[in-house]
Amino acid sequence: MSGQARSPVCALRSVGKQFGPVVACEGISIELFAGEAVALAGENGAGKSTTAKCLYGYYSPTAGHIEVDGQEATLRSPRDGEAAGIVVIPQELDLFPELSIVENMFMGQERPRTKIGTFDWGRMKKTAQDILARLGLRLDVSLPVKLLSAANCKLVEIARALNRNARVIIMDEPTAALTDREVRRLLSIVCDLKAQGVAVVYISHRLDEIFEVCDRIVVLRDGKTVGDKPTSEFTESSLVKMMVGRPLESLFTHSPHPTGAVALEVKSLTSSPSFRDVSFQLRRGEILGISGLIGAGRSELAHALFGLRPYSGQILVDGTETKVRSVSDAFANGIAYLPEERRSQGLILPFSIQENISLASLGRFTRFGLVSDKKESDFAHKAANDFTVVGAGIDAAVSVLSGGNQQKVLIAKTLARNPRIIILDEPTRGVDVGAKSEIYKIIDDLARQGCAVLLISSELNEVLAMSDRILVMREGVAVQTFERNEFSPEAIGAAAAGQKVVSDVA
Ligand SMILES: Nc1ncnc2c1ncn2[C@@H]1O[C@H](COP(=O)(O)OP(=O)(O)OP(=O)(O)O)[C@@H](O)[C@H]1O
Ligand SMILES: [Mg+2]
């Protein structure tokens, strides 16, 4: 596909980036050709984002250089990158919450003007609307971004990049926050972009996506390139082996766990406008998956159960009606929550790994009201080890960790309280295959120890493999519950999309 005789649009030549003593990547040479999608694959902390950041001018490499059209280019900022036609959809959300969708989409860009010289907002809105419509999002583009869900923010970021007429688009985990339907749209857009001659750099932990749209795969391990071959020369297991450095036998763990008494019961739970009349039971030792499309109300349901959102209806814990009006009410009832948006909801970025993990469980470490440093650090050490958090020591600020490693810190933090009921909202988002299988083992263990687990996930494979039952939500309503022997991707997908007439409304 990629005529090697052609010259690359741009290239990394022996690029390296060091942060003090930490070598994030070194000796990276990658050529990018028009119309070709190249995957950057590797475990959390392998150096994918850092490599990408060197390419679009976010970082100046500490070794090697970037080449654009065969010429060495010095990119001092993402703005320089954009001027050279290299645009990014970053891994972490990067929008101005107070500004509108259209303002965000035209931020830092030449804005069209009317005949009398004022900004032509009418035209900008039309353009913004058209691009979002291609992504399947129909929204008033004058709404401030802060009103959007995490998934819709991601779609706005993708739209912003598409609005730049780039020659090279770097997508760093673009689908981590999306559900299947949006993922399908994005992948078809990647194919359109290739057909238009754009070079795409695609970073994802979802290997099926890589196999679907990428022509070539570059594998990074410990900051170095360990493979660069056409996709057709890889199989999923050979790719995993190259990434992890060893074969991975099984991704999912689902052992039979006896279920006990009902730990959590929800009756006619309603929180307008997000969800209404939701009822279900969750037993000790049971994993209840919640599936649905973006906007189905799943995270909002989690927020209500965790005291972050007012509700009407009943929440019963161990058979007793409980008012969950605040996070401390939730904690008092043994409920813990792993939020989907780690940066804004879960972690305090400037704080260290240790502080983040132990903050959640203050009280577990206090004697006479003081935090016991020793116990705190023992626990954080164990937690960091359990999750093989890669990076500097546990005193390092969470902000310097790679995206997937931040997620692991967040999980350790959530478990630090020994919850009896745990709500996991997209627990493996942005996490590499090795760590995913560790997280699945942990979820399975929790259930076996009698914890009641609510698993919200947009990855259908994940909910199917891990859950004992699946509740499907659509447009704020619990439409159907499936027992494990009724599971199939088609049945769940159809219920989520409302393609089948559902007779038994929960
Ligand atoms: N600003 C920084 N300061 C110090 N170390 C950093 C910084 N940025 C990245 N690192 C380190 O460099 C290594 C590579 O990080 P990078 O974010 O590139 O990984 P990644 O492959 O994108 O991982 P993920 O899949 O988790 O997103 C990690 O060990 C990370 O902790
Ligand atoms: Mg990354």
Q: How many residues does the chain have?
A: 506
The pLDDT value recorded for residue 215 is 98
For ligand 1, pick from 28, 49, 352 the residue to mutate: most ligand atoms within 8 Å of CB: 49
The pLDDT value recorded for residue 493 is 85
Give exposure, 351-366, as e/b (b: 16+ Cβ within 10 Å). Answer: ebbbbbbbebbeeebe
Q: DSSP H helical segments within 203-283, as ranges?
A: 207-213, 236-244
Q: Of all atoms in ligand 1, which is nearest to the CA of residue 52?
A: 18
The ligand placed nearest to the CA atom of residue 342 is 1
The pLDDT value recorded for residue 369 is 45
Ligand 1 pocket at CB < 6 A? 19, 22, 24, 42, 44-50, 91, 390-391, 400-405, 432
The Å distance, Cα 338 to ligand 1 centre, comes to 22
The Å distance, Cα 60 to ligand 1 centre, comes to 15
**Closest C-alpha to ligand 1, atom 12:** 24
The pLDDT value recorded for residue 362 is 52
Q: Of all atoms in ligand 1, which is nearest to the CA of residue 401?
A: 31
pLDDT, averaged per 10 consecutive residues of the chain (506 residues), comes to 71 95 93 97 92 96 95 93 92 85 88 88 93 86 87 86 90 84 86 92 94 97 94 93 79 86 97 94 96 87 94 96 93 91 71 74 48 58 61 73 80 83 91 84 90 93 94 94 92 81 40
**Closest C-alpha to ligand 1, atom 5:** 400
The pLDDT value recorded for residue 383 is 62
For ligand 1, pick from 173, 387, 402 the residue to mutate: most ligand atoms within 8 Å of CB: 402
The Å distance, Cα 400 to ligand 1 centre, comes to 7
The Å distance, Cα 49 to ligand 1 centre, comes to 7
Could you tell me the sign of the dihedral formed by the alpha carbons of 471, 472, 478, 480, in that order? negative
The ligand placed nearest to the CA atom of residue 401 is 1
Alpha carbon distance 30, 19 (integer Å)? 21
Alpha carbon distance 133, 138 (integer Å)? 6
**Closest C-alpha to ligand 1, atom 18:** 47
The pLDDT value recorded for residue 502 is 42
- Beta pairing, strands 71-73 & 22-32: unpaired
Alpha carbon distance 354, 404 (integer Å)? 17
The pLDDT value recorded for residue 296 is 87
**Closest C-alpha to ligand 1, atom 2:** 400
